[in-house]
């Protein structure tokens, strides 16, 4: 049994000023020209970015995070979900390999069992993977919330937000997952993109509404008023959670962003507008209309343009080019 002294976990002796409240960044690895993980962690520190998310337990990145003071959401590979769910020993070994060596030097914010697998063939393994990972962590006296990451494809209805409802093929998985999370008081992680909603329906949606640029209400939904689409999408998920009996569940937005190239709406100007308006909105602490006055923890997608993702917009969500120069000026540094 490895006993971890909580006083050792991710203490930062340098007494740096804090990063922008509530904001983190996704650090993806799908590029053949990306800087080394040590260079990346130094870039994050120089920009005072203190929260990141990685999609799988990359050994080099975890080593580079040791002692950095940067908190991380750690994902499992989707292809490991079945083994994590069916074999507690596999889950224990996953924790021993990927968490224990770094537990005293890296702050793990959450562990995500899978990314966007509900609904789908892997959805049936998510809850079991969460339970087995949670048991393995507890056995080593580690108190790291285990959850999963969804996309808004889980919603059968999302407009207006008061109609937010999980689809029939998603609710069978999400109702028990939400129950498990509620028992532990863990959040649900969600990827929320106004860009894709807008690009799929530009005739019906105002660009400024999707870019968080409007100041006057665009949508009235009962007692709630929305001047940006991001809040409306988050609140539709909160309503869906209420409808499965979880009105107190917190949501963490694990991905959101706007591409700077790849289609007519993906411009550097729009990407910069979205990112900086989002940072300002989240860090203000105003929350969403249905969850007002509470910082909505949000992670921008993504740190770098990644050239091994599908061609087009997917390669152009980065805040930085692989040479670590800015794609556009962002307000991530307070």
Which residues are catalytically annotated? 116, 255
Six-digit token string for 208: 């400024």
What is d(CA 275, CA 273) in angstroms, rounded to the nearest whole number? 6
Angstrom CA distances, 77 to 56, 57, 84, 179, 271, stand at 5, 8, 10, 23, 28
Please name the residue that has the structure tokens 């550097």: 268
Give Cβ neighbours of residue 131 (< 8 Å, ≥ 6 apart).
Answer: 180
Per-residue tokens: 264: 């007519």
Length of the chain: 334
CB contact at 8 A, 60 and 41 = no
Quickly count: other Cβ atoms within 10 Å of residue 60's Cβ.
12
Residue 185 exposed, middle or buried by CB count within 10 Å (0-12, 13-18, 19+): exposed
Buried b (16+ CB within 10 A) or exposed e, 136-159: bbeebebebbbbbbbbbebbeebe
């Amino acid at each position: 049994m490895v006993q971890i002294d909580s006083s050792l976990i991710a203490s930062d002796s340098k007494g740096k000023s804090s990063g922008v409240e509530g904001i983190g960044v996704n650090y993806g690895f799908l590029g053949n020209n990306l800087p080394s993980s040590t260079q990346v962690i130094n870039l994050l520190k120089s920009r005072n970015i203190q929260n990141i998310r990685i999609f799988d337990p990359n050994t080099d990145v975890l080593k580079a995070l040791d002692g950095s003071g940067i908190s991380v959401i750690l994902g499992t590979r989707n292809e490991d979900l079945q083994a994590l769910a069916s074999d507690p020993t596999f889950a224990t070994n996953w924790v021993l390999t990927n968490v224990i060596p770094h537990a005293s030097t890296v702050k793990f914010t959450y562990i995500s069992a899978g990314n966007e697998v509900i609904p789908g063939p892997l959805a049936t393994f998510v809850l079991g993977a969460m339970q087995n990972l949670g048991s393995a962590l507890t056995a080593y006296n580690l108190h790291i919330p285990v959850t999963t990451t969804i996309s808004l494809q889980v919603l059968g209805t999302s407009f207006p937000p008061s109609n937010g409802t999980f689809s029939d093929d998603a609710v069978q998985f999400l109702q028990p997952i939400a129950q498990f999370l509620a028992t532990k008081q863990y959040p649900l992680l969600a990827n929320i993109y106004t860009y894709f909603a807008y690009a799929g329906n530009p005739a019906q949606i105002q660009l400024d509404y999707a870019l968080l640029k409007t100041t006057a209400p665009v949508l009235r939904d009962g007692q709630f008023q929305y001047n940006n689409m991001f809040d409306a999408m988050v609140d539709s998920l909160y309503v869906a959670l209420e409808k499965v009996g979880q009105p107190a569940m917190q949501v963490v937005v694990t991905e959101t962003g706007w591409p700077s190239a790849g289609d007519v709406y993906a411009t550097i100007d729009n990407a910069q507008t979205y990112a900086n308006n989002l940072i300002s909105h989240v860090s203000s602490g105003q929350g969403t209309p249905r969850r007002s006055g509470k910082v909505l923890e949000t992670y921008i997608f993504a740190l770098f343009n990644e050239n091994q993702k599908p061609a087009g917009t997917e390669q152009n969500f980065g805040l930085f080019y692989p040479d670590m120069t800015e794609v556009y000026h962002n307000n991530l540094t307070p």
